[in-house]
Structure 1
């Protein structure tokens, strides 16, 4: 075999890469679409890789680490190709297991930070119907996904209870996005939290581990896709031992307060006029914001323990949350989360959303 016969195929392969690189340097718009195509192609390749990994790890009896292997593979490939580096603070808290891990959800680029920090023995949650989808359902089953029945309120609550017990029995953790949908915007804030993750944690008596990814608006949004460094902060575990359903709402509000504070601490400041009011996301129900405000007025944050008081007491301590709320309120909180299945969000570029409004993953195309 001559040297020329080897060089020619390599040259043919390098030409498209060189052309795309030149095009991406020509203009920000071209760069956005080239990098977006690269990112989505990597997601597709790693999806196929994920099925192979899940099958192999099931054979050797290590199925609960399939997500970890696929996540790290995706980060190392996509991170290098896009020039995006994730810097993680508090990574030691990811070793907490079993636990409910909750993270803020900005866009489909969140898959990259999940790839960097997704812990071992951690599963995702999905609606039961996805279990029977070709390829996707099989991969989820093989990787230990927890399927819940969201057909009606009673079944949904029973599914959450069962999910908590499954996590404890498996000694695994569960990742959820409590915002329920994407919240990417220029200012540093989060949507009100859905309470599914907190119901599971309280039911199972396992801690909540908040994970906060900085606002990366400066690197990625519609028409912009740049290289850079993104910071992620893993906060200390918040114990739920001794809490009941009546404490779920106060717990979710307090965790959100802690995470928003951390988000603003680690995010790059973006100058905005003092008089400017942050825009209300298109996909948020104004009544939900009003309900949260009423909760704040009825239950001041002073009645909910601070992060310091929770963590200083140690992992086995029980937060002194208010216990004066009635069981009827608890059932109200549960029903407002699961009274109706989530629907496809208007404006999705792909026309379909695979995430659920209780924080179920995985994400589809970005809704800018």
Structure 2
């Protein structure tokens, strides 16, 4: 009996201590709940990533290399969705069977995108990643799963890498996934950053369709300090053909895909409260949220105060003369909502920041 206790019961007792501690932290405060749930998510990610190396090795040996990402993604979704009680419903999944090879593009909000992508990732699909990741701990798994590596050292090499990537996915007949925003962007009102054209150059050069996959704006369920439960939506849109398009059509294609995805994003996302909608246009331009009603005295003063010239005075800039104009220009050049972060790689296992 003592031998059985030493071999089985005692190790289980040791394992129960961190579980009990995590449970206590989880129930102690909202912040504790958030960090415990984030830890569970990252733990599931690490566990499946480690197992993915062995899955990739085995499937490569039997000639199923292009299905590695599908199997690993479904394993992660099965584990993490149950552990966190977060579930994903897909609309239009049949569109993922209509076109192959194809470019699969998604909006990019946070590290939780991995869970959404894990549920929607199709069979015979690969990912795009920067070349440097070949030498990272994820390198062996990514190589065995057929990842397409891009050399981003300079523009010429990056362009050649994209051309080679297009030819490779055509030869293999697979999907290639990428986040065209190039960086993560999330806030309460659903929106998209401007799309980078590299992915669409690839699609036009390879003459393969673009399949937009839109993840619901999940700010209500995940943001700084909050990781809740619930069911969220993903909508797969019909393939957008590129046959017959040329390099001159890339800009129009990029705009068309973004507009289509933005419309779908706003349609499937939970409506934003009315007060947020009322403030959004004003927030974009830098104007005050509430406009004061002018008094009679101020109205009279307005009638006699001369209107300043639109031309800036000597020794001053137009931005200094009009701070609101400068702010609106800054927002337009940066992103639709003036908020963005850096993101180096469009890979299935993304960075772990919110």
Q: Give the whole-Å Cα distance in 2 for the aligned partners of 1:107 and 1:276.
A: 22
Q: Does 1:107 align with 2:110?
A: yes
Q: Give the whole-Å Cα distance in 2 for the aligned partners of 1:150 and 1:11.
A: 50
Q: Does 1:276 align with 2:280?
A: yes
Structure 1 residue 216: deviation in Å? 0.6
Q: Give the whole-Å Cα distance in 1 for the aligned partners of 2:78 and 2:344.
A: 24
SS at match of 1:86: strand
Q: Give the whole-Å Cα distance in 2 for the aligned partners of 1:195 and 1:288.
A: 20
**Distance verdict in 2 for CA 1:347–1:250, change over 3 Å:** closer
Structure 1 residue 134: deviation in Å? 4.3
Contact 1:67 1:123 in 2 (8 A): yes
**Distance verdict in 2 for CA 1:150–1:4, change over 3 Å:** closer
Q: How many residues align?
A: 304
Aligned position for 2:316: none
Q: Aligned match of 2:67 in 65, 68, 73?
A: 65
SS at match of 1:100: strand
Q: Does 1:128 align with 2:131?
A: yes
Contact 1:127 1:147 in 2 (8 A): yes
Q: Aligned match of 2:37 in 24, 35, 38?
A: 35
Q: Give the whole-Å Cα distance in 2 for the aligned partners of 1:52 and 1:21.
A: 32
Structure 1 residue 157: deviation in Å? 1.5
**Distance verdict in 2 for CA 1:185–1:100, change over 3 Å:** same
Structure 1 residue 9: deviation in Å? 4.3
Residues 309-349 of structure 1: CA distance to partner in whole angstroms, max 9, x if unpaired?
A: xxxxxxxxxxxxxxxxxxxxxxxxxxxxxxxxxxxx9978x
What pairs with 1:251-262 in structure 2 (closer than 5 Å)?
Answer: 251-262=253-264
Structure 1 residue 97: deviation in Å? 1.3
TM-score, normalization by structure 2? 0.79
Contact 1:102 1:211 in 2 (8 A): yes
Aligned position for 1:364: 351
Residues 92-113 of structure 1: CA distance to partner in whole angstroms, max 9, x if unpaired?
A: 1122311100000000000001
TM-score, normalization by structure 1? 0.76
Structure 1 residue 43: deviation in Å? 1.1
Contact 2:87 2:231 in 1 (8 A): yes
Structure 1 residue 129: deviation in Å? 2.3
Contact 1:354 1:362 in 2 (8 A): no
Contact 1:231 1:266 in 2 (8 A): yes
Contact 2:184 2:340 in 1 (8 A): no
What pairs with 1:1-368 in structure 2 (closer than 5 Å)?
Answer: 5=5, 6=8, 9-95=11-97, 96-131=99-134, 133-271=135-273, 272-277=276-281, 289=332, 354-355=344-345, 359=346, 362-366=349-353, 368=354
Q: Give the whole-Å Cα distance in 1 for the aligned partners of 2:16 and 2:347.
A: 40
Which residues of structure 2 form unaligned runs of 5+? 286-327
Q: Give the whole-Å Cα distance in 1 for the aligned partners of 2:280 and 2:238.
A: 33
Contact 1:180 1:360 in 2 (8 A): no
Which residues of structure 1 form unaligned runs of 5+? 294-344
Q: Give the whole-Å Cα distance in 2 for the aligned partners of 1:360 and 1:178.
A: 12
Q: Give the whole-Å Cα distance in 2 for the aligned partners of 1:126 and 1:142.
A: 13
